[in-house]
Structure 1
């Protein structure tokens, strides 16, 4: 059930009515409704994997209680490692087993040994990386004494499987989401309006920009050997906007839907393409995953408190793990490694935290320098996205070689070979960037105070443009979100 589909619209309208008009006087009934609706939502993808989700939830729920009740350290460690091992085991089997066995066979083939490993012919359960990380953080926090085990299964089940974030995040923490689930919720008009604004902006990013970009990106990356260098650069540029608008669009819709239910989810993106260095980019991009690896991998490894060698080692580990989290492919690992190599010089020069917050410098020369830094950061990020998007390392290298082909570099002819013109897409991206820049200091688009007629006029012009663009871009079949595959 896709957020950008009629099925989800009807599903959510029904849930909204039941939530606020039928079960609104009982928190227990509201949470039962959320849990049941989340399981129904997940079953729409593949009902067989619903049992895996329920099993994972039961395991972490029971393990959390056992860890809290443990009389000695050995018992505590047993339940902790049981939960961790089983969760990572499921993730390893479904997501990484084939990668490891084929990589192992390829390694031996280089030495003349031919192996024929057995691979698993199973599909990846949607959302497994996200709900597994929910459970892992919960159990780790209990083990470290940061939180107490949740005794109410329904409340814990909602935390793990809350349908807006179930299949593609953001990755929530029990310290933030569970207290909201356990607290009575009242409908707030202003919060609901902000939620609708965020849903609208998310649909614009997904339907108008991401889905239109995909028409050109899919063809260019699949047939890179037929295109000129200029066209390949265009393909990489469009993929940068496709993946950002696709994933952040999903996050916006998820956060907006949660707001309509009186629940506040963490912000997952903060205009990352306005970042002035890689350190700032990773504080603005997929924030819930970056902070997860920081808190549960980087800091436990020692963070930046040890020697410079250990700090660099830790940086390499979390970036490579971040790449590997995205998929069982060497392309993702190289993507993570590239971002680590971008980040390390900034870390060594101690300016990786130079830009904290949303403030931008005043003064003409300072602004010019920041604009230049934004372009450089975007260029480096786009280069890395080529590996992320390519199916294999061979394709990625071939794509890069194609960029530097000397013949007909500026013959960008893709716009002439498609039923959909590329010009409206460029206009949409340009206006999209203007809107994001205007609201860059706000957590939610369109919430800036309209204290002047000009600001009010701009806001309503944006509304009109966004709504018309969505209506003109809707296709017969809804397209899936990129991060469902992770």
Structure 2
């Protein structure tokens, strides 16, 4: 973790105060850039060299596309190779080497390949995709080339979103960086509910349920009942953890006069895989759609086989983006297969079932699909998952009691989460204040003592 929550709160307060004391936009941007590098390099200073190299490469190649239009493709390839190469080196080199070693071992060949002992730079998956998207949009002529390097560097390293997104598009964030910003009390009034709601989701819900999920998934063979309840606990944990993080990021950015992408839209209300990916980690799912799935042909493929191949390849990349492990690849392939099955049956795209009964049935089925996906995602390894599914431990009376206790605890944490969602969606601003006051009280009283890093920091 870069900062503890208390240190981050102090850092944010100091930055916001000093930032608004500056009146000139370029001074504000330069200060934010310096603050972002201090934030990023606080624990591991050499991380700053990696993000600086990625930024300089992308900036130079975008400028090169403008200066030499006949060489646009060459500059795009350079930018992609450097940025994706850095990501592959730090995140996937050892994974692919070890996987190749296992495959050769299965063929009877014993090799001892070199393994790099490199720390994974925080947030590299997020800012790499952000820079790749900017380079591709510049190549397509969808994003004007920027001359101001400070503005471009701030686009890459803006500290609120640096560690775990959202993955912002150049056409959304850069214009905000380039425009004048003035303090208004409405900025604070709209920022603090996001910060408070995100803090509650993380400290009270996610960290509390992490205890149960971690304990269950550490068991050698938890059995089907505990596995079911542990998966349900993790599904709530990861949603509260990541959406809570995103709320705090958006609140922090809003205190500085920036509006970031909404990353979640009630994902567990989804009725189909395509509906789920329009609601879950929206900035990543739209990035995957625009820069991988559509260029592969998307749903316009002439044959079902090619459409299936495009979906499976797209979602396997999405899974691998989350981490260098086969469980993530399997999770991506699983979602790709589910998307293909739904689309083949005519339940893809913007499909909606008829009537309340049909909607309830579609929701229940999709919720089960999502839960099984989280089981794959959270499994410690592919071999552990196979053993848990194919040779489950027998169910005992103790398991029934433990499962019931955990299920009740999960349901208890769903109540304030539902109240927060209802307040955000239905309540007028005046009636939201008592809800947030209650959340503040509950955060103080119920916060988990075993604080944990945000789940998506590891990606």
Shorter-normalised TM range: over 0.9
Q: Residue 426 of structure 1 corresponds to which residue in structure 2?
A: 411
- Rounded to whole Å, the distance in 2 between the matches of 1:373 and 1:465 is 34
Per-residue deviation, 1:416 = 10
What is the aligned counterpart of 2:37 among 36, 39, 46? 39
Q: Which residue, 65, 80, 84 being the options, matches 1:84? A: 80
Query: CA contact under 8 A between 2:16 and 2:256: conserved in structure 1?
Result: yes
Give 1:306's match in structure 2, choosing from 291, 296, 301: 301
CA contact (8 A) 2:315 2:335 kept: yes
Match of 1:373 in 2: 362
Q: Please, which of 201, 205, 210 is the counterpart of residue 214 of structure 1?
A: 210
Q: How far, CA to CA, are the matches of 1:244 and 1:120 in structure 2?
A: 33
Partner residue in 1 for 2:379: 390
CA distance in 2 between counterparts of 1:423 and 1:387 reads: 23
Higher helix share: 2
TM-score normalized with structure 1 length: 0.89
Q: Distance in 1 between matches of 2:39 and 2:63?
A: 28
Is the CA contact 2:32–2:158 (under 8 Å) kept in the aligned structure 1? yes
Contact 2:2 2:39 in 1 (8 A): no
Partner of 1:465: 438
Q: How far off is 1:317 after superposition?
A: 1.3
Quote the residue 1:137 is aligned against.
133
Residues 389 and 134 of structure 1: is their aligned pair in 2 closer, same or farther, counting only changes over 3 Å?
same
Alignment match, 1:5: 5
Q: Deviations over 1:353-401 (max 9, x none)?
A: 2358xxxx9xxx9334323322221211111111111121011122334
CA distance in 1, matches of 2:108, 2:75: 44
Aligned to 1:124: 120
TM-score of the superposed pair, with normalisation by structure 2: 0.94
Residue of structure 2 in register with 1:203 after alignment: 199
Distance 1:178 1:450 in 2: 30
Counting only pairs closer than 5 Å after superposition, residues 249-260 of structure 1 correspond to structure 2 as: 249-260=244-255
Match of 1:60 in 2: 58
Report what 1:17 is aligned to: 17
Look up the match of 1:442: none
Q: How far apart are residue 409 of structure 1 and its match?
A: 7.0
Q: Which residue of 2 aligns with 1:229?
A: 224
Aligned equivalents of 1:382, 1:199: Cα separation in 2? 28
Give the alignment partner of residue 188 of structure 2, picking from 188, 192, 195: 192
Q: CA RMSD in A?
A: 2.3
Question: Cα distance, 1:76 vs. partner?
Answer: 2.3
CA distance in 2, matches of 1:477, 1:30: 37
Mark the CA change 1:277 to 1:429 in structure 2 (over 3 Å): closer, same or farther: same
Query: How many residue pairs align between the two structures?
Result: 458
Distance 1:4 1:202 in 2: 15
Is the 2:261–2:283 Cα contact (8 Å) retained in structure 1?
Answer: yes
What pairs with 1:146-295 in structure 2 (closer than 5 Å)? 146-225=142-221, 227-295=222-290
Unaligned residue ranges in structure 2 (runs of 5+): none
Deviations 1:296-350 (A, max 9, x none): 1111112222213322221111111100111111100100011111111221233
